[in-house]
Every structure is written in structure tokens, then in C-alpha cells.
């Protein structure tokens, strides 16, 4: 099994999160796009020899929300940005791989981190990429008027991290207090070009995001809404020219049509739902990789809905009692091979993870008792689903049936992927109670604060608990690992007791990759974005 990197989306954070929002996978469909390369000869494919040239076509489930890494939080945008924008560094299994950066060194007191950039870096338009761009990016993330979701990660103890230029290739990050999570935060933050955005009043809304200028192995070529985004090789990439001429991200929403396109060679890479694996595998044309992304799939309770019902802890606990994780996993994922039962809001790859927390396991009578004690009867809940997302659709049907057994009526509301994502991330949305979502937050538990602190900008459950707020602040600044571990174990227990979400499963992601393409080990399978370094992929 190839090893994969941890992410944030925060991102995701959220990175993750709206990708997240999409259940287990991005689904693909039958939109028009440039045709897949037929260039590799049978003999070359058989020999496995690398050849330059060709176009890789990757299926994605929706249009990108924004091609700018300080705002991207959905799986599609993050996937495309990974090829467009080079990161400072990445981390796999605790080991750093440097990209734009050459080194990152903490001071003896851990209050200053010195970042050295590679020399001679350039943006896709030929302009130099220097420390000025890094400092500019940090300043804009910290600027409240720019509305970057990463801002909270750069506020420590109520004070901002300072990014200071030392020279053209050196930046010092000065922390207001020791923060063990800082490197995990830094790995998520990708520089944007100062010369492109410095005069833009609102970077998030800037038209310049429509033709992005990046620093990655591939540069922007064309975007046709609802059909495809195409990137072409950037010959001056610091890591060496990519083998492929181009990568096309085919926007495809219908999973069944996309699977047919995959089998017909019109698509080369696609996420798979578990129930589709045997069909695709039987063609003999694809490498099928199932790997852990450090991802939690969960049932979200919107405490802010206009019914007011889910603001009551007893109602959330009752819903949880009505469900059965093992049943849900079998129903949604088809096999325990693709998902493990989850009880904590944290994932097993994270620091201080424990699944030994309070769990409201299947007990119909207890569910009914809790509803009665909460004074709730004839409850009707709205469950939003991203149309075509098989994991979400299956989970919604399962929940609908199980809640019927305790006297709760569930109405399913199917939305297209874009509408679903917009509603999910709207902190003022009151017109639904339930959704089935997921997130990938990386190895440091400080990342979860954006989901569970009362005023956090990604607190989609609208959960409020002052003790939780204080514990997250304490955990972020605690240098003693043992004490820090106790804080996060306490947080996992409190959030489990409060039934903020119903943790369902730690899922595996399944991806099919056309055997005509090699370099998979070097490209590194990675959470959310499929490949860490797509420059390493090639036609055999």
C-alpha cells in the first residue's frame, strides 16, 4: 500500500470539508472534455517504460469553487490547486518533503521558525517567487477583510503570527507563544503571487482567480464551466519538467456515466464507490488503490435549524441511539474492508486519538425515552443530500429508515453538488437538520478547533460549549506532550458526550488509475487531492 500524506483542509480543512461534504468520493459523469491520450503503444505499456507527452484525464465531481489556495476548501479546487500551486513543504509519515522551501528550522525557544526558500523560483508568468510572496500571503490571510478560512490558525493566544522577510529567500515566522501545532498549520499554507493580487481589494472575489498564476508543475490553460479544466506543463518548474503535456480535470457528476467513460478510456483516473470496484477491476485496465485519508464520515446535526429540536442534546443522543455503526458501514460501504467504526471526532492517524469515548450505541428504547424526556414527539427532520453521491444517498436512506423506528420522520432533500456545498458551509442555514459529511484534518488535533469552537468559521454544527473553547485554546499552547494529550482526550470525551455529531466511520478512499500511466509511487497518493506530485506521472 502506498503511503499517503496528511492534510489539513483544515481543510479542509476543510480541505476539507466541503469535499468532505461529499460523503466518500467525488463522482464523475458524462460532460464533454478533451479526449484521453491514446498515445502509448501496446509495447510501451507492456514494458512500463516512461515516455514524455500525453494528457491525463481525472474525473472530478463538480466545478471548482475557487482556484486560489488560501480560499480553496472543496475537494475539486484543492485537487486542481495541487498541480497549479507548489506547497512550501509536505509531510508523509512524519518526514518532510520540501518543495518551494529548502528548510524550516525552529529556534531554541520554539518561538521563531526560519524558512529558507529555494533560489531561482518563478511564477508561471516568469516573475520571481521570493520571500515577499510568502510574507504577502501571510499578511492577506491575517487581514480580516480578506476572509481567508486559515486566519484562525495563525492567531495564537489571541495574537497573530508575524511573517518577517529577512532576505529574498528567507522568512522568519515569529510566534506570540509556543505552539506545537504551528508546523502542521504551515504545511497547509501555499503562497500566492504578490504581483498579481497586491492591488486587489477583495482577493477572494478577484477576477484574477479565473486565470490563476501559480508555481506548480502545471499552469492554467483553459476552463470551460461544467465541462473541464485543463492545465499544461510548466517547463520552468523547479522540480524539473513534468513528463505529461497536460492534465484535464473532467467535470462529471453522474457516477454511472463516469464509470462507463472510465471503462471506455475517456477518463484515466476516478474515485470509486465500493459497489463499483468489482466492475472496474474486472476490466483489467486499472490499478485499484484503497488507502486511508485519515477521514471521518459522520452525521451532522445542525443545531441552528429553525425547528430548534437539535439544539437539545437529548434529541441528538436519541438519534444516535437509533443508529448502528456496523449496519451503517455495511449499508453505505458494502464491506468493513472500506471503513472502520468511529466514535471520536478525531481520526486514528492523529496525535492523542482515542476511540474509547462515550458512545450512544443502538438502543431503540433508550432513544424513545430520551425523546420523551426532551418533550419531543412527531419530529420531522430534513436531510440534505448531494445528488449522485452514492455514500450520502445510501446513508440518508439508512438514517431515514432507522429514525422511523423511533417515531422520527426524515424528509430527503437532494441538491446538486454546488448547491449542497453552499448550503452546508452557510453558518446561517436554518432550513435543514441533517447531512452526511466528512473531513480530513491532519495529524495535529489543533486543526479541529475550526469545527468545534463556538465562534469558529467552520463550526457547521453551530455547537457552543465554553469548556470546549477553553480546552482547545489550552491545547494549542501546551508544550508538554503528556499534558497536551490529556487535554485532547478530554475534548474527545466531552464532544462525544454532547453528541455534537454522530461519528460513523473512518473510511478508505478508493481510486482507479489507468494502467497506461506510471510513476504512481513517486507521485504519492495523498488525501483529498489524489497525487501529491503529479509531475512524476507518465505514460508508459
Q: Is the pLDDT of residue 44 over 80?
A: no
Q: Grid coordinates representing 189?
A: 499554507
Q: Grid coordinates representing 85?
A: 500551486
Q: Is the pLDDT of residue 7 over 90?
A: no
Compute the average pLDDT of residues 24-52.
46
Regarding whether 263 and 236 lie in a shared domain, the answer is yes
Regarding whether 28 and 112 lie in a shared domain, the answer is no
pLDDT tens, residue by residue, 467-483: 999 999 999 888 899 99
Burial of 264 (C-beta count, 10 Å sphere; 0-12/13-18/19+): exposed
pLDDT tier, 48 (very low <50, low <70, confident <90, very high otherwise): low
Q: Any idea what the CATH number is for the domain that residue 221 is in? A: 3.40.190.10
Regarding whether 247 and 109 lie in a shared domain, the answer is no
Check residues 469 and 7 and name the one with the higher pLDDT: 469
Per-residue model confidence (pLDDT) at position 293: 85
Q: Any idea what the CATH number is for the domain that residue 157 is in? A: 3.90.76.10
Q: Is the pLDDT of residue 462 over 90?
A: yes
Regarding whether 127 and 77 lie in a shared domain, the answer is no
Per-residue model confidence (pLDDT) at position 496: 98
- Give me the domain span that covers residue 178: 89-197
Regarding whether 182 and 98 lie in a shared domain, the answer is yes
**SS3 per residue for 347-396:** CCCCCCCCCCCCCCCCCHHHHHHHHHHCCCCCCEEEEEEECCCHHHHHHH
Q: Grid coordinates representing 415?
A: 441538491
Per-residue model confidence (pLDDT) at position 152: 84
406 domain residue, yes or no: no
Q: Are 536 and 523 in contact (CB under 8 A)?
A: yes
Predicted TM-score (pTM) of the model is 0.77
173 CB contacts (<8 Å, ≥6 apart)? 112, 113, 114, 115, 138, 161, 162, 163, 164, 182, 186
pLDDT tens, residue by residue, 29-39: 333 334 444 33
pLDDT tens, residue by residue, 109-157: 999 999 999 999 999 999 999 999 999 999 999 999 999 988 988 988 8
Regarding whether 110 and 72 lie in a shared domain, the answer is no
Query: Which of 215, 149, 154, 203 shows the shortest CA–CA distance to 182?
Result: 154
Backbone angles phi and psi of 301, in degrees to 5: -105, 115
pLDDT tens, residue by residue, 59-106: 998 899 999 999 998 889 999 999 999 999 998 777 899 999 999 999
Per-residue model confidence (pLDDT) at position 302: 97
211 domain residue, yes or no: no
SS3 81: helix
Regarding whether 115 and 190 lie in a shared domain, the answer is yes
The chain-wide mean pLDDT, for the chain, equals 89
Q: Is the pLDDT of residue 354 over 80?
A: yes
Q: Grid coordinates representing 342?
A: 468511529
Query: Which of 370, 345, 376, 348 shows the shortest CA–CA distance to 359?
Result: 345
Domain edge (last residue) among 140, 166, 197? 197
27 CB contacts (<8 Å, ≥6 apart)? 61, 252, 253, 254, 255, 258, 271, 273, 388, 389, 390
Q: How large a percentage of the chain has pLDDT more than 90?
A: 75
Number of domains composing the chain: 2
Backbone angles phi and psi of 320, in degrees to 5: -65, -40
Amino acid at each position: 500500500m502506498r503511503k499517503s500524506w496528511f492534510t489539513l483542509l483544515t481543510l479542509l480543512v476543510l480541505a476539507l470539508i466541503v469535499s468532505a461534504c461529499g460523503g466518500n468520493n467525488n463522482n464523475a459523469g458524462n460532460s464533454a472534455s478533451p479526449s484521453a491520450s491514446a498515445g502509448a503503444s501496446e509495447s510501451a505499456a507492456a514494458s512500463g517504460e516512461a515516455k514524455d507527452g500525453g494528457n491525463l484525464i481525472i474525473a472530478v465531481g463538480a466545478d471548482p469553487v475557487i482556484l486560489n489556495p488560501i480560499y480553496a476548501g472543496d475537494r475539486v479546487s484543492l485537487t486542481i490547486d495541487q498541480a497549479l500551486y507548489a506547497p512550501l513543504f509536505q509531510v508523509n509519515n512524519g518526514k518532510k518533503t520540501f518543495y518551494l522551501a529548502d528548510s524550516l528550522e525552529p529556534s531554541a525557544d520554539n518561538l521563531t521558525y526560519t524558512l529558507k526558500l529555494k533560489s531561482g523560483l518563478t511564477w508561471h508568468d516568469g516573475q520571481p517567487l521570493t520571500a515577499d510572496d510568502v510574507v504577502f500571503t501571510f499578511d492577506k490571510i491575517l487581514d480580516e477583510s480578506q476572509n481567508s478560512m486559515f486566519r484562525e490558525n495563525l492567531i495564537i493566544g489571541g495574537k497573530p503570527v508575524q511573517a518577517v522577510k529577512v532576505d529574498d529567500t528567507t522568512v522568519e515566522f515569529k510566534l506570540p507563544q509556543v505552539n506545537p501545532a504551528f508546523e502542521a498549520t504551515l504545511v497547509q499554507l501555499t503562497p500566492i503571487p504578490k504581483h498579481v493580487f497586491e492591488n486587489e481589494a477583495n482577493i477572494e472575489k478577484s477576477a484574477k482567480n479565473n486565470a490563476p498564476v501559480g508555481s506548480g508543475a502545471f499552469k492554467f490553460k483553459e476552463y470551460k464551466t461544467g465541462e473541464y479544466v485543463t492545465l499544461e506543463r510548466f517547463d520552468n518548474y523547479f522540480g524539473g519538467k513534468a513528463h505529461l503535456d497536460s492534465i484535464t480535470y473532467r467535470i462529471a457528476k453522474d457516477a454511472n456515466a463516469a464509470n462507463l467513460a472510465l471503462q471506455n478510456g475517456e477518463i484515466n483516473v476516478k474515485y470509486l464507490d465500493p459497489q463499483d470496484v468489482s466492475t472496474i477491476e474486472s476490466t483489467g485496465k486499472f490499478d485499484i488503490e484503497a488507502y486511508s485519508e485519515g477521514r471521518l464520515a459522520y452525521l451532522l446535526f445542525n443545531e441552528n435549524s429553525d425547528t430548534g429540536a437539535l439544539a437539545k442534546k437529548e434529541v441528538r443522543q436519541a438519534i444516535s441511539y437509533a443508529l448502528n455503526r456496523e449496519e451503517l458501514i455495511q449499508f453505505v460501504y458494502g464491506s468493513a474492508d472500506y471503513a472502520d467504526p468511529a466514535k471520536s471526532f478525531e481520526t486514528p492517524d492523529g496525535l492523542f486519538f482515542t476511540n474509547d469515548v462515550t458512545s450512544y450505541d443502538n438502543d431503540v428504547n433508550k432513544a424513545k425515552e430520551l425523546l420523551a424526556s426532551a418533550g419531543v414527539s412527531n419530529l420531522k427532520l430534513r436531510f440534505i443530500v448531494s445528488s449522485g453521491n452514492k455514500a450520502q444517498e445510501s446513508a440518508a436512506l439508512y438514517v431515514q429508515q432507522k429514525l422511523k423506528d423511533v417515531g422520527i420522520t426524515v424528509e430527503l432533500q437532494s441538491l446538486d453538488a454546488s448547491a449542497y456545498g453552499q448550503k452546508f458551509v452557510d453558518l446561517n442555514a436554518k432550513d435543514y437538520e441533517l447531512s452526511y459529511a466528512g473531513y480530513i484534518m491532519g495529524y495535529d488535533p489543533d486543526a479541529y478547533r475550526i469545527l468545534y469552537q463556538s465562534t469558529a468559521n467552520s463550526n457547521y454544527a453551530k455547537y457552543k460549549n465554553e469548556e470546549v473553547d477553553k480546552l482547545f485554546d489550552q491545547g494549542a499552547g501546551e508544550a508538554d506532550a503528556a499534558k497536551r494529550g490529556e487535554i485532547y482526550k478530554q475534548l474527545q470525551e466531552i464532544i462525544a458526550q454532547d453528541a455534537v455529531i454522530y461519528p460513523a466511520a473512518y473510511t478508505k478512499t478508493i481510486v482507479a488509475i489507468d494502467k497506461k500511466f506510471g510513476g504512481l509511487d513517486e507521485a504519492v497518493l495523498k488525501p483529498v487531492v489524489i497525487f501529491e506530485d503529479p509531475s512524476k506521472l507518465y505514460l508508459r
